[in-house]
Chains A and B, each alone.
Chain A
């Protein structure tokens, strides 16, 4: 099982690396056509990070793609391997491939201070995409959903910063950025993770749409509460930021 997943992941990783050819192409395009005078390192960081983000989302969303596309769900459910083991063997190679791409980012760029946030975001995207994987059959809907949660991640982190500053947990609205982003990621991942696990634990060969109830009973209400809180505090956060300027 693990071998198969490693091979599948390596194929996806090879595809991702192939897309990285966009970096020198962008550089050449700029040198000879656009002529903005971008540095290679600027192009590399921007394009590379964007590709890794998309790869993280793709890795998560398509974690059960082989079973869906190959109609192998029934076979996987009939073999004597625990669901936890199946999930572990799917997650491990993907996490390793993301870590490889992340380490490459750290090695090839000098900007160590921002790369920790990018690292956190890569894993956040992967897990939120993984937790949404049962619901997503359409690539467009998938990316819209992930983009929404992508935005929420930043808005909520800033709202949390504001709340923490307001109740004097942090001295300035700008401090504790990493911690607030981690809290934001955990707050968003938890309801989706619980819903995903409840579905996965009871997953059987019934049509998937009949098994998605935990998303409606756990994730959706949590997301709505989250949205309301963000709407309330993010406005205050913005006003505070304007006042500080």
Chain B
């Protein structure tokens, strides 16, 4: 179990988290979402140990407690690496640091990256795949992936996701994803956490969330229900309802529509901007 206990963190005087708590069981694939600047990437960095909490703790599973960083794979949105190193030098550096005897470069070969190429010469997609292959080599128990998938092309995205799925199916790995392209990863995600003002606003298993968030297409606002957000058109409106229960259906005028993860998250985020 990965546990975040009473965590507080801020950038200077700007507080991001105040007594934040979260538990993620081993092997769970969890999506963290929320509006820009809410602290999603900060939370990943706190778990990865690249940011230090002002107060509170990140408690790792027992198997990782001795040296947690050795078993954390972190792909940040900055894709931070020594840019002046060549690919082969970066691999050697990584092997030394993690005491790896071998490095499987088959993933890199897909992307036509040459050993002599400097990291700074790689495209964003190539860099993401290179980063993923470095992470795979350490066989992480916790994998943290920030918003990197949007920016890579369809072919590399497919490779990335195939590797991710293989890793999840082969090993009991905890995966925490931030605001990825939901359509691509919807089938992977088991739990959705929505952050709002440094707190957890929604924390649901994906099936439960899908049952609780519905779109009502109607000319009238459904009475007595919580509307997350709405879109108005000339002849009708769309109302995003949360929490929805089956018994509400009888009193609703209009069509009730199931939503996919992208629409659900958009409804929550749209509600925050409204």
Give me the interface of A with B, judged by CB distance under 8 Å: 1, 3-4, 66, 69-75, 77-81, 202, 204-207, 210
Contacts and interface: CB of A to CB of B under 8 A. Distances in A.
Contact of A78 (B69, B93, B120): B69
B221 interface: no
A75 B82 contact: yes
Most buried by B among A1, A81, A204: A204
A69 B207 CA distance: 45
B184 to A, nearest CB: 25
B84 A75 contact: no
A78 B72 contact: yes
B78 A74 contact: yes
Contacts of B67: 80
Contacts of B76: 74, 78
Chain B interface residue count: which class?
A: 20 to 34
Interface string B101-143: 0000000000000000001100000000000000000000000
Contacts, number: 68
B50 A204 contact: yes
Given A78-B49, A80-B70, A1 B96 contact: yes
B11 A207 contact: yes
A80 B167 CA distance: 22
A70 B120 CA distance: 8
Given A71-B83, A75-B80, A205-B50, 10 more contacts: A3-B96, A69-B83, A79-B97, A80-B69, A80-B97, A80-B98, A202-B52, A204-B50, A204-B52, A207-B11
State the main secondary structure of chain A at its contact with B.
loop
Given A1-B97, A80-B98, A81-B97, A204 B80 contact: no
Contacts of B92: 3
A75 B81 CA distance: 6
B217 interface: no
B8 to A, nearest CB: 14
Given A78-B49, A80-B67, A80-B70, A70 B81 contact: yes
Contacts of A79: 69, 97-98
B268 interface: no
B100 to A, nearest CB: 12
A63 to B, nearest CB: 15
Contacts of A77: 49-50
Contacts of A1: 93, 96-97
A217 to B, nearest CB: 15
Contacts of A78: 48-50, 69, 72, 74, 76, 80
Contacts of A69: 83-84
Interface in B53-105: 67, 69-70, 72, 74, 76, 78, 80-85, 89, 92-93, 96-98
18 contacts: A1-B96, A1-B97, A4-B85, A69-B84, A70-B81, A70-B120, A71-B80, A73-B80, A75-B82, A78-B48, A78-B49, A78-B69, A79-B97, A80-B70, A80-B98, A205-B45, A205-B51, A207-B11
Tell me which of A1, A206, A210 has the highest count of chain B C-beta atoms within 10 A of its own C-beta: A206
Interface in B168-198: none
B80 A72 contact: yes
A221 B38 CA distance: 37
B50 A72 contact: no
Contact of B83 (A72, A80, A81, A207): A72
A71 B97 CA distance: 18
A177 B49 CA distance: 48
Contact of B11 (A70, A72, A75, A210): A210
A207 B14 CA distance: 13
A204 B80 CA distance: 14
A3 B92 CA distance: 10
A207 B12 CA distance: 10
B93 A4 contact: yes
B83 A70 contact: yes
Contacts of B119: 70
Nearest to A72: B82
Contacts of A210: 11-12
A226 to B, nearest CB: 29
B23 to A, nearest CB: 23
A80 B11 CA distance: 24
A203 B248 CA distance: 53
Given A79-B69, A80-B69, A207-B11, A70 B50 contact: no
B29 to A, nearest CB: 21
A73 to B, nearest CB: 7
A201 to B, nearest CB: 10
B60 to A, nearest CB: 12
Contact of A66 (B70, B74, B84): B84
Given A80-B70, A210-B12, A72 B98 contact: no
